[in-house]
Amino acid sequence: MVVTVVRLAHASSPLNVLYESWPQTDSFIILWASLWRDFEMSKAVLDKDQRKLIDLLSLEEALDDINNLFNIGERAVGTPGEYKGVKLIESRFREIGLKNVHLEPFKIIANNHKLSELELLEPIHKKLSCGRCFGPKHSGFATGKEGVAGAIVDVGFGTIRDFKRLKREGVNFKGKIVLIEVNEKLFHYPAWAQVLQAQEFGASAAILTSVVFEHDILRNYWTRARIPVVSISYIEAQALRRLLRKGEVRANLKNIVELNMESTSHNVVGELPGHKYPHQLIVLTAHHDSWYGAANDDACGVAVIIGVAEVLAKNYKNARTIRFVTCGGEEFSLEPGVEDIFSGLAGSYAYTKQHADELDKIVANINLDGFAYGTSSNITLTPELESLTNKLIEEFEAEAIYEVEGPPDTGLDQWWFVRHGVPSVSINPKMDQYMKIYHSNRDTPELINADLMRNALRMTLALILKLDSSELLPYDFTSTAKNLRKALSERSAKVEDAIDLSKLIDNVIHLKVVAERLQKKKSSALKKKLNEKTVFFVNNVQRRACSSLNPKLVNIKCGITTSAAYVVPAYLDALINLKKAIVAAKRADKETLFTSLKALTEKLWGLNVSPKVYNIIRKAILDSKRAQGLKFDLIPEARELEKKSKKKIKDVSTEIASLEKKYKTILEQVDKKLSKLNQALVESSSALTEVIYKLA
């Protein structure tokens, strides 16, 4: 008989001490191995019954659901394709035994793309397959049946410098079709900014391409320009460039689109009513609309929802109501009469509006979006669910697959739940991997990573089971306090002359103490029989703490942007970098000056376009009612400082004075936002302390 012994990782563990000090006989080793198994089981997050349920998940059925959605074809919002997807999901929800299955319609404005085509006329005749672009409401974006004809000009990355250089070389852009290499690193809104720049110089149409993507794929781009735009594969773009090096190339571009069509999209809803706490909800979301067939974005998320729902419906008696929602309009759409740069997530936005009276009853949102391509997935979450999520990742030995990274994202249906304070976990793509096929015709079932699908199924079901089975909600506010403490300790000394963080730090430390005590009390209390009043009180207070803290912890980043950030590190970094920039400007330290400004303004992308183009984008962001963060604009000063640097003008006192004035304004805004967070910390700590006394 051979016994394999695995040593514990911690040398000081009592079991390791026993192993080292006892005679190494076969009987002892067998005993030690048994103790080791018991020790491992005691650390397990999931019990045997929960593991049995997880073993019932079917990867093959999930892959079949992906194929069935994919085979419908493109499911663009408000189109017959999307409605076919909606009816398929509704049918599957009924088939697997969900209750209260229904469609929740919402009105949207959409575009109906009929044809995008690029036909080379001279020196060769060839029709190129094109990807469609989306976003604008402006009539100039669409062509008539005859299209737009003109000579093609390659403008490289389409920066203001590229256009000015070509103009100096004698290029007249009026009536030309420009070929643009999309570059995410040079622009905050790349395709939009680059096409606007072409439009300003008189171009009549634009062709987009990018080396980032697989070379023979077609991709949809988001742009709000007033000229027609199509995309072509990189391999075709390179062939076109070879022709351009030999001489003039003429083409005809067609972008036949019905613009601003009022239509209806739907959220598909089904649920398993709770048997013990029916008014408490766990809400799962994924989106069913898509560009192209979109196996990964997001048929895979819908398939996970169906797979998990089926196991629960047939094998589990849930305490809390579990609701399954597939959303429409995630990729692009707005309701009629609304003009906002934040023009996606329409289904989740509609859901949170239509269910506003029950948002505080949602104990968690679990979102799934585009996670099954590449070698790993990303998880974004609110901090009170970080501990549970990490424990499950460890239990599944999935550390190489999942990275818990970054705040909840403005590009995910998770966003609108978080903005209302709902605890949330979202399993998402690693964008550095997924960009190769993002929003393209290459997003096919053949490229779905089965291992990522399997793990998403398991992780999703495990999260539901832990959230549902525990009488006391398994939030851990220790993570909230630890993350805040780390962010403050790394930055407090750098801003101490500008803002007093001492009260905030004290209250974060107090929250950590309270949270740690609460975790111990909850652990002890769950070993006893709790009365319903106590359970209701504890869960209600915990959930209210989430509603109070989460919207103040996560918001839009600083500056002219619609990306998300954790508020404390982002806002303090804004102060630190702006102060650095001011000091560097006074010292004529150009390198530090522009490094600091880049950190504040998405790499100074505004300097890569003309002031006119920048102001169009700037106004759209500042006017947004849905992307309300700490907005400030430093590009005007950066533009003047760059000009003076090139001309070797030393007097930058005007720009320094302007930066100092903005620093004071930003400081006031940061102080107000941190004061609100501070108040939320005080109130949450006080309420959670009451929970501790209640459990005692």
Q: What is the pLDDT of residues 117-168, one digit of tens each?
A: 999 999 999 999 898 887 666 778 889 999 999 999 999 999 999 999 999 9
The pLDDT value recorded for residue 258 is 85
How much is the pLDDT for 293? 95
- In the prediction, which pLDDT does 20 show? 65
Contact 485, 509 (CB under 8 A): yes
In the block, residue with structure tokens 């015709």: 441
Supply angle C-alpha 226, 118, 263, rounded to 5: 50
**DSSP character at residue 297:** I
Distance (Å, whole) CA 266 – CA 226: 29
- Nearest-angstrom CA–CA distance, 246 and 451: 48
Q: Could you say which DSSP state residue 440 is in?
A: B
Strand-pair partners of 555: 565
pLDDT for 41: 46
pLDDT value, residue 606: 87
Q: Which of the four pLDDT bands, split at 50, 70 and 90, describes residue 260? A: confident
What's the pLDDT band for 42 if we cut at 50, 70, 90?
low
Specify whether the CB–CB gap between 266 and 165 falls below 8 A. no
Distance, CA of 377 to CA of 367 (rounded, Å):
13
pLDDT > 90 in the chain, percent: 73
Question: What is the DSSP secondary structure assignment for residue 607, as one 8-state letter?
Answer: G
Nearest to 442 by CA among 295, 581, 262: 295
Give the β-pairing of 229-231 and 205-209.
parallel
pLDDT in tens, 271-317: 999 999 999 999 999 999 999 999 999 999 999 999 999 999 999 99
Q: What's residue 556's pLDDT? A: 85
Assign 338 a pLDDT band (cuts: 50, 70, 90). confident
**Cα–Cα distance between 493 and 37 in angstroms, integer?**
47
pLDDT greater than 90 at residue 586: yes
Report, at the CATH architecture level, how domain 124-248 is classified: 3-Layer(bba) Sandwich (3.50)
Task: Return the pLDDT at 1.
Answer: 37
pLDDT, averaged across the chain? 90
Fold of the domain spanning 470-696? Ferritin (1.20.1260)
**Structure confidence at residue 10 (pLDDT):** 45
Q: What would the mean pLDDT of 384-393 be, rounded to a whole number? A: 97
To which residue do tokens 């997001």 refer? 298
Structure tokens at 528: 């006893």
Contact present, 222 and 111 (Cβ < 8 Å): no
Considering only residues 70 and 191, tell me which one the structure prediction assigns the higher pLDDT: 70
Euclidean distance between CA atoms 232 and 200, whole angstroms: 22
Euclidean distance between CA atoms 661 and 36, whole angstroms: 64
- Reported as a single tens digit per residue, the pLDDT across 486-517 is 999 999 999 988 999 999 999 999 999 999 99
The enclosing H or E element of 283 equals: strand 277-287
- Nearest CA to 182 out of 132, 223, 240 is that of 223
pLDDT score, position 4: 38
Residue 9 pLDDT class (50, 70, 90 cuts): very low
Sign of torsion over alpha carbons 393, 398, 402, 404: positive
The pLDDT-based confidence of 340 (bands split at 50, 70, 90) is confident
Give me the residue spans of the domains in the chain: 1-43, 48-107+262-432+462-469, 124-248, 470-696
Confidence of residue 185 (pLDDT cuts 50, 70, 90): confident
- For residues 303, 306, 309, 314, the Cα torsion angle rounded to the nearest 10 degrees is -120
* Count of CB atoms situated within 10 Å of the CB of 353: 12
Give how far Cα 613 sits from Cα of 175, 207, 440, Å.
Answer: 19, 18, 27
Helix (H) or strand (E) holding 33: helix 26-43
pLDDT of residue 631: 78
Whether the link from the prior residue into 298 is cis, omega within 30° of 0, is: yes
> Strand, helix or coil at 311?
helix
Q: Is the pLDDT reported for residue 405 higher than 80?
A: yes
Whether residue 479 has pLDDT greater than 80:
yes
What pLDDT is attached to residue 14? Answer: 56
**Cis before 569 (ω within 30):** no
Lowest mean pLDDT among 232-241, 574-583, 612-621: 612-621
CATH class of 48-107+262-432+462-469: alpha beta
